[in-house]
Amino acid sequence: MRMTDIPFGTTDWSAVDATEHPGETGMARWRTRQFGELRVRMVEYSAGYRADHWCEKGHILLCLAGALTTELADGRSVVLTPGMSYQAADGETPHRSVSSGGATLFIVD
């Protein structure tokens, strides 16, 4: 990926309006910035969150707070805690997010 035409800038994530995205259970609150084709998000998952779909989009994801379990369609799962990240390519590994106690993530896709 090549990032072009993005002027230097800063983001105060607390000033970015949040949108709510219900899961199968719980809620995800996204604060989103778009830079051309690049989407950058601060996402807060509520306690008891479980995604309502398998995602096939690629992401680079960093856990900032709480804990996130990522279930993979092949039966594996990984748990991210603060300071841990994962990266997945578009169309490679269907996955979905689950958080029993809530989590805050920084996501680039």
Digit-coded pLDDT (tens) for 18-67: 999 999 999 999 999 999 889 999 999 999 999 999 999 999 999 999 99
Let me know the angle formed at the C-alpha of 40 by 77 and 101, rounded to the nearest 5 degrees: 40
Q: pTM to 2 decimals? A: 0.91
Residue showing tokens 């279930």: 71
User: 3-class SS at 4?
Assistant: coil
Summary mean pLDDT of the chain = 94
Instruction: Kindly report the backbone phi and psi dihedral angles of residue 76, in degrees, each rounded to the nearest multiple of 5, phi listed first.
Output: -75, 160
* Mean of pLDDT values over 2-11: 86
User: 3-class SS at 14?
Assistant: helix
Domain ranges of the chain: 19-108
Report pLDDT for 33.
96
CATH architecture of 19-108: Sandwich (2.60)
